[in-house]
């Protein structure tokens, strides 16, 4: 199976990395094309384009100016260790052993506005570019047009190589849209995570993001191969709910009591 994740806005390029193994992204030429356009924008233009503060825009302006197509360990870091956010707090890649990294490299893909699609050990440089950014380019009005069907084709190639027909989509709507999953000949499974609040179960973004990372951790560390085995996921107090689930949307619930105990 192939697991899809979103990237994170927050980055970590300081802490030690748990593995020295690294690979290079498949679409660096296209990333360079994006960088060329982005590096021509002023701080004010970046702030408006991305809907971020001038301080953050200044930081990312500097990142675009210093970004280079040459990706090596001197200025780059493996994607799985570089992203730092709720999803990656749940993923806990810092605890992976070499077998976990090997499995993740074959079965996990991270969608990216700048890099398109990343294997976990692909080197990246610091950046911020959300997939939903309406950045006009020669291919169209936004990044969805820029990436077109390239991500779907890449995912299809990975499925063929792994002899699998299953995608576990743990990416957000913003990113999974770019993967054009409806055009891929595969069984698309979208786990859903709901927390109890005021006696009702609902998706709470903060907890759901972390739960997606936890599910990816569960799949990787247990080397899960069958969709049915996802029902055994019980990290941080979540449990599978057969009554709320369908074949392509397994639902996991967590009570307030379980959340407080986690």
pLDDT tens per residue, range 7-66: 999 999 999 999 999 999 999 999 999 999 999 999 999 999 999 999 999 999 999 999
Q: Alpha-carbon dihedral of residues 93, 25, 139, 47, nearest 10 degrees?
A: 50
Phi-psi label, residue 113: left if phi above 0, alpha if psi -120 to 50, beta otherwise: alpha
CA gap 176, 188 in Å, rounded: 11
Helix-helix angle 43-50:54-66, to 10 degrees: 110
Three-class SS state of 81? helix
> Torsions phi, psi of 6, nearest 5?
-85, 160
Dump pLDDT digits (tens) for 67-91: 999 999 889 999 999 999 999 999 9
CA gap 231, 219 in Å, rounded: 11
Tokens found for residue 48: 């408006």
CA gap 91, 176 in Å, rounded: 18
> Is-above-0.85 flag for pTM?
yes
Identify whether the C-beta of residue 38 lies closer than 8 Å to the C-beta of residue 157: no
Helix-helix angle 98-107:205-222, to 10 degrees: 110
């Amino acid at each position: 199976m192939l697991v899809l994740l979103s990237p994170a806005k927050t980055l970590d390029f300081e802490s030690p990395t748990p593995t020295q193994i690294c690979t290079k992204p498949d679409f660096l030429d296209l990333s360079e094309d994006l960088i060329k356009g982005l590096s021509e924008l002023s701080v004010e233009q970046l702030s408006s384009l991305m809907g971020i503060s001038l301080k953050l825009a200044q930081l990312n302006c500097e990142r675009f100016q210093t970004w280079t197509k040459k990706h090596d360990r001197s200025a780059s870091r493996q994607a799985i260790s570089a992203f730092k956010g709720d999803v990656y707090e749940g993923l806990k890649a810092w605890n992976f052993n070499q077998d976990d990294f090997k499995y993740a490299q074959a079965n996990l893909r991270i969608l990216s506005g700048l890099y398109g699609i990343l294997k976990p050990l692909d080197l990246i440089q610091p950046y911020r570019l959300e997939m939903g950014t309406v950045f006009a380019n020669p291919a169209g009005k936004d990044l969805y047009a820029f990436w077109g069907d390239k991500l779907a084709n890449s995912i299809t190639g990975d499925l063929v190589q792994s002899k699998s027909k299953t995608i576990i989509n743990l990416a957000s709507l913003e990113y999974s849209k770019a993967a054009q999953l409806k055009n891929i000949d595969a069984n698309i499974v979208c786990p859903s995570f709901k927390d109890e609040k005021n006696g009702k179960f609902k998706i709470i973004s903060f907890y759901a993001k972390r739960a997606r990372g936890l599910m990816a951790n569960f799949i990787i560390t247990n080397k899960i191969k069958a969709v049915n085995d996802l029902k055994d996921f019980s990290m941080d107090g979540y449990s599978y709910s057969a009554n709320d689930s369908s074949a392509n949307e397994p639902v996991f619930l967590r009570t307030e009591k379980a959340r407080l105990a986690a």
